[in-house]
Structure 1
Amino acid sequence: MGSQDVLRETTRLASSSALLQILFRVITFGLNAFTLRYVSKEIIGLVNVRLMLLYSTVVFLAREAFRRACLSGSTKRNWMKTFNLLWLTVPLGVCWSLFLGWIWLDILEVPDANAVPHYKFGVVVFGLSAVVELLGEPFWVLAQVHLFVRLKVIAESLSVISKCFLTVILVVLYPHWGLYIFSLAQLLYTSILVLSYIVYFMKFLGSPEAIKKSFPVTHMTSVLPSFEQDEAFVNWKEAKLTWSFFKQSFLKQVLTEGERYVMTFLNVLNFGDQGVYDIVNNLGSLTARFIFLPIEESFYVYFAKVLERGKDIKVQKQDDISMAAAVLESLLKLVLLIGLTIAVFGYAYSQLALDLYGGSMLSSGSGPNLLRCYSLYVLLLAVNGVTECFTFASMSKEEVDSIGFILANCFNMGIRIAHSIHYIYRYFGESPYRPLKGLLISPLLIVVYIISGVVTGVSEVFLCCDKGWIARLIHIAVGALCFTVTVATIFFTETKLIHFVRTHFLSKYTKEGLK
């Protein structure tokens, strides 16, 4: 598959994932708003902060390093050794689940059984759910490397919809079940997710379509762990790269879920306040979840397939290098403009958004200021995701190690961005390509952003949020006008980016519309 084909499939994967994440976020927020009317905010806080932290920590520490290592390289590899390596995530997940489950049950504060019943059951089932999800890891990597976009969309859609459907039914019929409801729903989610991948490959492997495409795996038994006496159990190059990524996993997980660890281990908030915080936190990170994360995951695959890891830029195919540089520049410009737009308009509309979503419970107190801070934080997330996806896709094992040890003690979001930018600058230093120009925007657009921020900020002071519905509508209209002007300015000043988006993200939907 050529670099153009990889780019086309990658953009399909990114756009589909982004649309999927939007759907999931809408469903999740609707579900949160619904369940708050039937169960206590203490249960919401315990599920969304403590139990989901247990689940995400087990899954992340058990599989993140394996994913990054096994997604690198071409589709033509010894898949038996790759599968053997990926199956190690399951026993690793069991060990993490048992260890962290012990901490969650015996070390951390146990909630009052009257306010939050069935806590032990919840810990056991959420830990089990993490292990169940790891059972599908070989199938997920196989699908991701071969860019099976539709499979990912269908599998995740079925699992999320099933989880929400079961939650709604149990919340309405048996609200007194407490954590039973959310634990069973989480187990259903992971089970359907894994079964979707297994059922798909059971039908696909060995089929005429797979044979026509010369698919490298022919039978389901080939995916299972196997050992040949004449060969090593795993690809040691992939294994060493996995270890390099694994040494960073702890720190990255702490940085990603830092506030949840603070709330869980230091008890700075009660469970009810944790529930409110989590709702605000999810609203603030919407863009990171449904735009930046799909872009980062999809284009990590693209850069890993197009570039040769650890090789100097001079000895690689110059057509691939040129394409990678152009894609990186456009991605940087795209996420930077998205981040700036959210930072400018998020400041003035945080209180209104919370008031519309959850009423005075969310819009009063520290909620609006917290959401405003997230609007600024999105700027860092925007640049960090793209620069890191390129950096980790092209670095050698030795360079990956340097990140894990040399920068470990001072590793924060700003340093991560600076390090990735420095690496990209050196990577393209002796070539004519300058993808970091994607971080530069026109002076006119900067002026428009500043004016929009000032105008909407003044509008918030005089029109939001206790001045009545007419004032709110005027405030919204002011924001809509400023947003329209901003988008129009982007359209006329960033022509190169617009061409990139039209060509690689929107062309698929345009063609389908013409059919």
Structure 2
Amino acid sequence: MQRLQGDQERKKEKLGRSLTDALKLVLLIGLVVIAFGPSYSYSLIRLLYGRKWSDGEATKVLQCYCLYVIVLAMNGTSEAFLQAVATKEKLKRSNGSLLVFSLIYVIANVLLIRSAGAIGLILANSLNMILRIVYSAVFIKEYFKESSSFAFRACMPGGYEFVLLSGVATFIVERMYLNRDSFSATFTIHFSFGLFCFLVSAFVIYQKERPFITKIIRFREHAD
């Protein structure tokens, strides 16, 4: 009995470390997208498709989609864990909750598309993902309540503050210096500042998360 209990505890510890790494990875990627995506959405569309599209709704849609990326990734990871370890009874309860969330999504979809168009569609999807993330988070907290192998705070990548600060800084620089009428000249300043912020953030994250990044690289090499 003690051996079986010990095996279960080791299994739960391994699951906790794996879930922490998975959530940390998607949060790291998502935070980078959130920090730099909205500030460079206009510039990207302007460079690829011209001013006709960048001055329209496309820029705002892409900015909102950058925010949607992180909730989509977090939901996929947390929900996959729930589906993998939950009992049949809890899976039935989860499916019932998903049905309720789907109904909320349909209602929000209709209302928000009417009032905000494509942006409303992204907001409705984001609301659906957030509800599902909260449900999965409650399950995960309950699953690890008697184990110290997992904590949500441990999922935040080191140096995330610098990434968010870079997002605020690039947003301010875009508003202050990027001129749509003199795009070619002012974009150089905007791009250079963003590149500098990205490199500083990458350096800080690497210094704080070197073991984690090394683990991901080795896992990738082993998978290949």
Where relative contact order (Cα < 8 A, 6+ residues apart) is larger, the structure is 2
TM-align CA RMSD: 2.4
For 2:166, give the aligned amino acid: S
Q: Sort the Cα spacing of 1:315 and 1:340 in 2 relative to 1 into closer, same or farther, 3 A.
A: same
For 1:486, give the aligned amino acid: S
Q: Does the 8 Å contact 2:31/2:164 carry over to 1? A: no
Q: Give the Cα separation in 2 of the matches to 1:321 and 1:500.
A: 20
* Identity fraction in percent: 31
Q: Does the 8 Å contact 1:464/1:475 carry over to 2? A: no
| Corresponding residue for residue 455 of structure 1 | 169
* Count of residue correspondences: 195
| Corresponding residue for residue 402 of structure 1 | 93
| Corresponding residue for residue 149 of structure 2 | 433
Q: Give the Cα separation in 1 of the matches to 2:41 and 2:77.
A: 26
Is 2:135 aligned against 1:419? yes
Superposition pairs of residues 282-293 of structure 1, within 5 angstroms: none
Superposition pairs of residues 267-306 of structure 1, within 5 angstroms: none
Q: Give the Cα separation in 1 of the matches to 2:43 and 2:63.
A: 11
**Aligned with residue 160 of structure 2, among 445, 458, 463:** 445
Displacement of 1:496 in angstroms is 4.1
| Corresponding residue for residue 13 of structure 1 | none
TM-score norm. by structure 2 comes to 0.77
Q: Give the Cα separation in 2 of the matches to 1:405 and 1:501.
A: 35
For 2:199, give the aligned amino acid: T
| Corresponding residue for residue 483 of structure 1 | 198
Q: Does the 8 Å contact 1:384/1:417 carry over to 2? A: yes
| Corresponding residue for residue 111 of structure 2 | none
**Aligned with residue 56 of structure 2, among 345, 359, 365:** 365
C-alpha distance after superposition, 1:368-402 (max 9, x if no partner): 11111111111211211110111111122221211
Q: Does the 8 Å contact 1:343/1:375 carry over to 2? A: yes
Superposition pairs of residues 73-472 of structure 1, within 5 angstroms: 314=5, 317-406=8-97, 408-410=99-101, 412-442=128-158, 444-446=159-161, 448-461=162-175, 462-472=177-187
Displacement of 1:406 in angstroms is 4.0
Give the greater-gyration-radius structure (CA): 1
| Corresponding residue for residue 106 of structure 2 | none
Displacement of 1:449 in angstroms is 2.5
Displacement of 1:422 in angstroms is 1.3
Q: Does the 8 Å contact 2:101/2:132 carry over to 1? A: no
TM-score norm. by structure 1 comes to 0.35
Displacement of 1:315 in angstroms is 7.8
Displacement of 1:319 in angstroms is 4.0
Q: Give the Cα separation in 2 of the matches to 1:409 and 1:395.
A: 19
1:430 alignment partner, SS class: coil
**Structure 1 unaligned blocks of 5 or more:** 1-312, 510-515
C-alpha distance after superposition, 1:187-219 (max 9, x if no partner): xxxxxxxxxxxxxxxxxxxxxxxxxxxxxxxxx
Q: Give the Cα separation in 2 of the matches to 1:385 and 1:472.
A: 35
Q: Sort the Cα spacing of 1:336 and 1:495 in 2 relative to 1 into closer, same or farther, 3 A.
A: same
Q: Give the Cα separation in 1 of the matches to 2:82 and 2:155.
A: 16
Higher helix share: 2
1:325 alignment partner, SS class: helix
Displacement of 1:344 in angstroms is 0.9
Q: Sort the Cα spacing of 1:508 and 1:406 in 2 relative to 1 into closer, same or farther, 3 A.
A: closer
1:352 alignment partner, SS class: helix
Displacement of 1:341 in angstroms is 0.8
1:431 alignment partner, SS class: coil
| Corresponding residue for residue 474 of structure 1 | 189
Q: Give the Cα separation in 2 of the matches to 1:369 and 1:418.
A: 26
| Corresponding residue for residue 499 of structure 1 | 214
For 2:195, give the aligned amino acid: A
Q: Give the Cα separation in 2 of the matches to 1:506 and 1:486.
A: 25
**Structure 2 unaligned blocks of 5 or more:** 103-127
Displacement of 1:404 in angstroms is 2.0
Q: Sort the Cα spacing of 1:322 and 1:450 in 2 relative to 1 into closer, same or farther, 3 A.
A: closer
Q: Give the Cα separation in 2 of the matches to 1:471 and 1:506.
A: 41
1:336 alignment partner, SS class: helix
| Corresponding residue for residue 269 of structure 1 | none
Superposition pairs of residues 23-42 of structure 1, within 5 angstroms: none
Q: Give the Cα separation in 2 of the matches to 1:382 and 1:438.
A: 17
